[in-house]
């Protein structure tokens, strides 16, 4: 498909001098540890706060435990205390009251349900600009299912959004094909990662490997929710094949939780992998755990631009991932890792064996290439520069146009 979708950097050129920070309210479906979209909202809020924006963050659902650095950031955090799967019209007026009280220049919503809520509220509460961000390649819920109703709701409420952004080009093209967003109102702004927090640290590596009891093993790491789109069943099957055919003493560490965890644990027992697969639960120290790993594994059937891939790449880990969504915008095949077809356990097993068979110099070369590419293209500072340019253009279109001409 020939797509009119372009990135904001392509659309608006090089950064101009700031027009001055204002007030911004970020509306998210959820907040907390363990979700890539949630983490991106938290990172954006903290970076904007450091740039002297007055920042508020509202979660539709009650937040799960928040990262310490976010709790202590000075960002105004609130919740609508909604329940998953329950449409409560009273929350529309509650959010309208919050917006009238906070008086934001920009409302920036994240994830499908927050986008729809922000659009419905706009006629009831003043805001100079509304930016809506989609974080997946399709409008799936956490547990998958049909996307048609969410696409329809996104389409009929589009009139109240100034722009809709996606985190990768395949996601933008999917939105256009599904008629969820008009092509002329879609821009691509990727996720950003803190490349100073996610960075190789040899001393941390030694300490964490000792703490996890994996000093002499080749350590694979996976991070993400145990839900259908992540396809952990495929990962375990592929890892089982690789265990049988490689002579490396290796282990797979999995960080996360979710409704399918008992099923995956049963699969591990059935395949006799209890000594090769360990479940670490939800961790607050993912940068340290990544330092303990030798390589990273992702088996998703669908993705947008996964935060865990950006974090693993910034941490200098070679990556094996399925070629879905924006994964190929992070992983350079044969340069920083290996991409395999969706749902192909044997191909994934072969890629696992290939990484295990590399010498330490070649593995380090893959890791360095990934970190350099991620730092140059996806550092959180670079991405927030892009967001600020978009905010300034929406708030001051005449001034931005004048600066372009001059």
State residue 151's pLDDT score. Answer: 86
Is the pLDDT assigned to residue 16 strictly greater than 50?
A: no
Asked if pLDDT for residue 178 goes beyond 70, the answer is yes
> What is the structure's pLDDT at 9?
38
Domain topology for 202-378 = Rossmann fold (3.40.50)
Instruction: Indicate if the pLDDT at residue 385 is higher than 80.
Output: yes
Give the pLDDT of residue 262.
97
Do the strands 6-7 and 23-28 form a parallel or antiparallel pair, or are they unpaired? unpaired
Residues in contact with 311: Cβ distance below 8 Å, sequence separation at least 6, in sequence order: 193, 198, 223, 286, 287, 290
Are the folds of 6-192+379-405 and 202-378 the same?
yes
Distance CA 78, CA 405 (A): 41
User: Which segments within 61-137 are labelled E, that is strand?
Assistant: 76-79, 106-110, 129-134
Which of 169-173, 259-263, 292-296, 393-397 has the least mean pLDDT? Answer: 393-397
Tokens 């089982």 correspond to 240
Per-residue pLDDT at 35: 78
The predicted pLDDT at position 13 comes to: 39
Kindly tell me if the per-residue pLDDT of 3 is higher than 50: no
- Residue 254, helix vs strand vs coil: strand
Contacts of 365 by beta carbon, 8 Å cutoff, 6+ apart: none
Distance CA(117)–CA(242), nearest Å, equals 46
What confidence score (pLDDT) does residue 149 get?
79
Domain ranges for the chain, please list them: 6-192+379-405, 202-378
- Tell me, what's the pLDDT at 146? 60
**Closest-CA residue to 320 (of 252, 376, 265):** 252
Residue indicated by tokens 């927090």: 197
Measuring CA to CA, which residue among 66, 168, 135, 67 is closest to residue 378?
168
The CA distance from 26 to 114, in Å, is 10
Q: What is the dihedral sign for C-alpha 163, 33, 383, 71?
A: positive
Q: How confident is the model at residue 204 (pLDDT cuts 50, 70, 90)?
A: very high
Rg of the chain's alpha carbons, rounded to an integer? 21
The answer to whether residues 270 and 238 touch, using CB atoms and an 8 Å cutoff, is no
What pTM value is reported for the model?
A: 0.87
Residue 1 has pLDDT above 90, yes or no: no
- Give the span between the Cα atoms of 314 and 197, in whole angstroms: 9
- pLDDT of residue 191 exceeding 80, the answer is yes
Tell me, what's the pLDDT at 126?
87
**What gap in Å lies between CA 256 and CA 142, rounded to an integer?**
14
Secondary structure tally for the chain: helices H, strands E? 17, 14
Q: What pLDDT score does 140 carry?
A: 56
The answer, yes or no, to whether residue 85 has pLDDT greater than 90, is no
pLDDT tens across 146-173, in order?
Answer: 678 788 888 999 999 999 999 999 999 9
H/E element, 278: strand 277-281
Model confidence at 12: pLDDT above 60: no
Mean pLDDT of 244-265: 95
Average pLDDT over residues 339-352: 97
- Whether domain 6-192+379-405 has CATH 3.30.300.160: the reply is no
Question: 29-58 burial, b for 16+ CB within 10 Å, e for fewer?
Answer: bbbbbbbbbbbbbbbbbbbbbeeebbbbbb
SS3 category, 134: strand
Half-sphere exposure of 14 (CA within 13 A, CB side): 3
Res 213 pLDDT > 80: yes
What's the mean pLDDT in 97-113? 96
305, 37 Cβ separation under 8 angstroms: no
Residue 114 bridge partners (DSSP)? none
Whole-angstrom Cα distance, residue 265 to residue 284? 22
Round the average pLDDT of the chain to a whole number and report it: 90
């Amino acid at each position: 498909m020939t797509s009119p979708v372009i990135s904001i950097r392509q659309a608006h050129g090089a950064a101009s001098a700031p027009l001055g920070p204002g007030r911004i309210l970020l509306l998210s479906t959820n907040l907390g540890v363990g979700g890539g979209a949630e983490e991106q909202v938290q990172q954006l809020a903290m970076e904007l706060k450091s740039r002297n924006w007055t920042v508020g963050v509202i979660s539709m659902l009650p937040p799960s435990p928040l990262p310490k650095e976010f709790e202590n950031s000075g960002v105004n955090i609130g919740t609508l205390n909604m329940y998953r799967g329950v449409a409560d019209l009273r929350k529309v007026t509650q959010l309208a009251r919050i917006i009238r009280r906070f008086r934001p220049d920009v409302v920036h919503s994240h994830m499908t349900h927050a986008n729809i809520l922000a659009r419905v509220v706009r006629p009831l509460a003043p805001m100079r600009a509304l930016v809506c961000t989609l974080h997946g390649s399709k409008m799936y819920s956490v547990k998958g299912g049909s996307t048609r109703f969410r696409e329809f709701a996104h389409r009929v409420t589009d009139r109240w959004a100034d722009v809709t952004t996606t985190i990768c080009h395949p996601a933008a093209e999917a939105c256009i094909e599904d008629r969820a967003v008009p092509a002329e109102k879609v821009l691509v702004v990727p996720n950003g990662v803190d490349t100073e927090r996610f960075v190789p640290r040899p001393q941390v590596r030694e300490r964490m490997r000792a703490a996890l009891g994996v000093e002499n093993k080749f350590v694979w790491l996976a991070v993400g929710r145990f839900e259908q789109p992540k396809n952990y069943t495929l990962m375990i099957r592929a890892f089982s094949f690789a265990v049988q055919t490689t002579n490396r003493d290796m282990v797979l560490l999995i960080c996360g939780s979710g409704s399918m965890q008992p099923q995956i644990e049963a699969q591990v027992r059935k395949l006799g992998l209890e000594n090769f697969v360990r479940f670490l639960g939800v961790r607050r120290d993912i940068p340290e755990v990544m330092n303990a790993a030798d390589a990273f594994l992702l088996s998703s059937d669908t993705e947008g631009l996964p935060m865990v891939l950006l974090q693993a790449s910034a941490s200098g880990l070679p990556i094996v991932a399925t070629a879905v969504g924006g994964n190929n915008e992070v992983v350079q095949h044969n340069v920083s890792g290996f991409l395999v077809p969706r749902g192909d356990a044997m191909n994934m097993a072969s890629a696992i064996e290939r990484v295990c068979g590399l010498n330490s110099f070649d593995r380090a070369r893959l890791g360095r290439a990934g970190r350099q590419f991620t730092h140059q293209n996806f550092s959180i500072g670079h991405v927030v520069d892009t967001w600020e340019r978009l905010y300034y253009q929406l708030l001051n279109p005449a001034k931005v146009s004048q600066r372009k001409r001059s």
